[in-house]
Structure 1
Amino acid sequence: MRILLVHDLGGPAPAYTLPALRARSDVTVYVPRPGQWAATAPGVPDNGAVTVLLDEGGWDLGEEDEAVRRIVDAARRCAADAVLTFSELWAVPTARAAERLGLRGASADGALRARDKLLMREALAAAGFRSPVFAAIGGPADVVDVLKASGPGGVLVKPRFGMSAVGIRLVENADEAERVLAESRAGYTAFGMPVDPARAMLAESRFLGDTSGWYTRPGLGDQVCVEGLVVRGTHLPLGITDVMPKVPPFTQSAHISPTSLTPDAQRIVLDTARRAVDALGLDTCGTHVELKLMADGRCEVIEIAARYPGRTIVEQSDRAYGTDLVGHLVDALTDPGHPLPPALEPAQDIGGTAAATLHLYASEYLRDLPTPFAYAGIEPPPASLVDPAVRIVAFDERGHGWRVPQAGDEQPHWIARMYLEGASVDAVCRSVNRIRYETRLRRPVGAALS
């Protein structure tokens, strides 16, 4: 078996995905943006176990037809039996390439509905989901129109082809519309996104979540994620990821597995995720469904991705639920007779290892920095704040002296990140909360930069 992996920013790290891919096939990694290779290559073996194809460049990355052609060419060069990507940026051209090659994949139409937030909203509304007020927008007046038609909570403005919550902004008053729209549209530059030169935008009324009745454990946010797999059009949920309260306004800080939802709440979440995935018409791919927990006992769809999530969520979900998300996906793409993994069943005690991904951001510590700030570490050491039954498996932080950005989206600009594991969800939740709320930025003399 041979697999072509289209690789770029986003998705789980190669250090975790490549062993699962290599266990089943030879792997060729095609890199359409060689300029991003140094930032994304850690974990790719340099011993010849994986072939790396760096694109020669010299083409317009916004030309999707050319992107498809190049992926098809790379797949033919390595005689690939499957092509896949974990990067949101390349989900649609990879799906189109698979169709052109006669291989299994998400389906081009389904991948586009997952990628384009306007098409996603239209598909969900057609499937009978309770819908926010939403519209494609071209200017501030369009934002104001959506705002007038919406209830309390304001309106979210977002890039239709965004990723990782970058560019999402809240408009609560009409006089903010022009400024906020400009800020949101600038989100297209955060990852150098090679899509949609027109920078198409969407506005939608905001769902106001409420965790009352959903959790007995305190400190969790009003959003959950369902990690799963679609196999020939059938959705298999494989894990539920709880989300800690976000860094205002919309930056995700921590994810915890397994879920602390009650079994009845899990059934509602899993049924909603299944219906949402069905609405997009996906064929065979990994999925990541984000849901908002509502006060009336229902949950609403925030977004659906036709690929697995980034950070270390795949790893923590595998550890908590005993799955092999990457391996299951490869089996589904390459072997139609392979037994499917069992779908997740609601349970009071999931068992297994509890795990969490935690990112720390400067704004949680210093809300109003008058000048750029040089990062000098956090204190006390996070390891001193975790429960005895919890360990920090991986820790990474910015180099001391790194200039903390003062404007724009925080999501790409974490100051420290870590992956934790423990014997119980209680212990992991306590540890995450202590690290997040009891650490502080170390402020050396002369930290402000001119």
Structure 2
Amino acid sequence: MKKLLFVHGKGGVPLDHAVPRMAAHAEVHLLALAPLPDGPWREHCAEIIPRWTEPVRGDDLVDLIVETAKAVGADAVTGFAEWALLAVSLAAQRLGLPGPGANVRDSRDKRLMRERWAEAGVPGPEFRRVGSEADLLAAFRELTAPMLLKPAWGAGSIGQFVLREEADVAIAWITVAKALDDLVAYGAGEYYEAEAPRQLLVEEIIAGTTDGWYDEPGFGDYLSVEGIVADGVYHPIAITGRIPTIPPFTELSSHAPCALPEPLQREIERVATAAVDALRLDTCGTHTEMKLCADGTVMLLESAARFGGSAITGVVESVFGVDLVGMFIRQLLGEPVDYPDRMLVDAGSAAAELSLIGTDSAGRPWRTEPVWDSRTAELHRLVSPGSTITHVHGLTAPDGTRVPHYTEARGIANCIGMLFLTAPTRAQMVADTYAVFDCLEARLKEAAAGEPE
């Protein structure tokens, strides 16, 4: 069996989902750059190499990955964490192995990403690079408010601030800088590019709408396309839809199948293909986000050279029966892969991943900080007959953890876990999603109080 070196960092596809699917096609050697959760995934690894106690960054990290790959005789090297993507890609290049390729920075640095899209005529927001508070003030005077200050190397809506008037400039600069410092202290943030926390951009906020798009209520004006680039050829696999995000732009949930009529899904497929092609990637998973706008137009938000994090690959597999992780590993190993001819749109069931986060569906922060305990939560009380719901192992904090008060600058870092919901129909899945977000605080408080059954 061929050997795979898998580089684990914070975030990405849950190990309980990813490792067994990788192990079906390769002998898995796991280089851990972040602490590892317990779980049955461990028995699928030939070797676990812990390297998180003394963080390695920059070129030293690339050297470590290359040396480890040579030591285990790896036939492929990959990782699913955004923060480690550049280092893993550079290591693969040095080893002469498949990976995102020489243009990987275009998919990590959002400033480069937007420049590539502008060159290719792919629709995206007006933006400016900013390196100081003075730059931000100048950009504010050039662009049209409202606008968003964000890290060029960020993910998960962490370190973002909405500016509506010139007076917001100073507080925005201070708030985002602190959020990014906190991120580094937390052990997250870009693993290779040392200057990443100081590389920012500000962009006009896209005016999205669901008018003319959805025939059903409850959906947001934002979605993503999950896919794979194989030897430079993009294969869009499926759309994952969203309920509305909450301020500033924090995602609460991803789901499939998408409720858009098929002709509109095909337009999304076309735009996603143009966006990914413009980034000139070689071999990688992709997660391409876009905003639905008026008159049937869309605007690109970003496109990562990796799979969507949390449980998105699980949602796609549950609904469409497509093992994205397994397909990608086979591609890296040079094995044949049967890609669908077109993006998948038809499904006989529905699934969603939900953030375990201290807000309701409208973004109103919880008034309390209840304790999360999977043993007493009894989440099934919140969903309809025929639906299932559980927490995602490896992505959820230990029992006894308090759900923190939601603050906008921390974005998805407010989240302490993920829930996975399945339902027989899309309509039931959407109704259950809202029920969970709007009733979970009360359910956890009841569970903590020892409510009798």
> What is the aligned partner in structure 2 of residue 357 from structure 1?
353
Determine whether 1:69 maps to 2:63. yes
TM-score (norm 1): 0.89
Superposed CA deviations along residues 305-331 of structure 1, whole A, max 9, x for unmatched, are 000111111011112122110111011
> What is the aligned partner in structure 2 of residue 421 from structure 1?
422
TM-score (norm 2): 0.88
Structure 2 gap ranges (5+)? none
Superposed CA deviations along residues 267-319 of structure 1, whole A, max 9, x for unmatched, are 11111110000010100110000110111211111111000111111011112
Select which of 78, 82, 90 maps to 2:84: 90
Q: Is the 8 A contact 2:149 2:202 kept in 1?
A: yes
> What is the aligned partner in structure 1 of residue 107 from structure 2?
114
Determine whether 1:223 maps to 2:217. no
- Flag the 1:157–1:306 CA change in 2: closer, same or farther, 3 A: same
Report SS of the residue matched to 1:151: coil
- Flag the 1:225–1:131 CA change in 2: closer, same or farther, 3 A: closer
Superposed CA deviations along residues 368-390 of structure 1, whole A, max 9, x for unmatched, are 789xx542459995422312121
Q: Is the 8 A contact 2:129 2:200 kept in 1?
A: yes
Aligned counterparts, 1:162-241, within 5 A: 162-188=154-180, 189-190=182-183, 191-192=186-187, 193=189, 194-198=191-195, 199=197, 200-241=199-240
Q: Is the 8 A contact 2:355 2:419 kept in 1?
A: yes
My pick for the range that moved more, 124-133 or 179-188, is 179-188
My pick for the range that moved more, 288-297 or 179-188, is 179-188
- Flag the 1:203–1:322 CA change in 2: closer, same or farther, 3 A: same
Q: Is the 8 A contact 1:227 1:308 kept in 2?
A: yes
Determine whether 1:266 maps to 2:259. no
C-alpha deviation, 1:54, in angstroms: 1.8
Aligned partner letter, 1:434: A
Determine whether 1:135 maps to 2:128. yes
Write the distance in 2 (CA, Å) between the matches of 1:398 and 1:245: 28
> What is the aligned partner in structure 1 of residue 50 from structure 2?
54
Write the distance in 2 (CA, Å) between the matches of 1:354 and 1:70: 41
C-alpha deviation, 1:406, in angstroms: 5.9
C-alpha deviation, 1:67, in angstroms: 1.4
How many percent identity over aligned positions?
A: 28
Provide the alpha-carbon RMSD of the alignment: 2.6
- Flag the 1:54–1:440 CA change in 2: closer, same or farther, 3 A: closer
Q: Is the 8 A contact 2:19 2:45 kept in 1?
A: no
Structure 1 gap ranges (5+)? none
C-alpha deviation, 1:405, in angstroms: 4.5
Write the distance in 2 (CA, Å) between the matches of 1:180 and 1:225: 28
C-alpha deviation, 1:48, in angstroms: 7.1
C-alpha deviation, 1:437, in angstroms: 2.3
Write the distance in 2 (CA, Å) between the matches of 1:60 and 1:223: 36
Report SS of the residue matched to 1:243: coil
Aligned residues: 432
Superposed CA deviations along residues 147-180 of structure 1, whole A, max 9, x for unmatched, are 223335x111111111212112111111111211
Query: RCO higher in 1 or 2 (8 Å CA, sep ≥ 6)?
Result: 2
Q: Is the 8 A contact 2:286 2:307 kept in 1?
A: yes
Write the distance in 1 (CA, Å) between the matches of 2:28 and 2:439: 43
My pick for the range that moved more, 188-197 or 268-277, is 188-197
Write the distance in 2 (CA, Å) between the matches of 1:17 and 1:443: 33
Aligned counterparts, 1:403-442, within 5 A: 404-405=404-405, 407=407, 408-414=409-415, 417-441=418-442
Aligned partner letter, 1:51: E
Aligned counterparts, 1:260-299, within 5 A: 260-299=259-298
C-alpha deviation, 1:335, in angstroms: 1.4
C-alpha deviation, 1:31, in angstroms: 1.5
- Flag the 1:406–1:417 CA change in 2: closer, same or farther, 3 A: closer
- Flag the 1:248–1:76 CA change in 2: closer, same or farther, 3 A: same
Report SS of the residue matched to 2:434: helix
Aligned counterparts, 1:292-311, within 5 A: 292-311=291-310
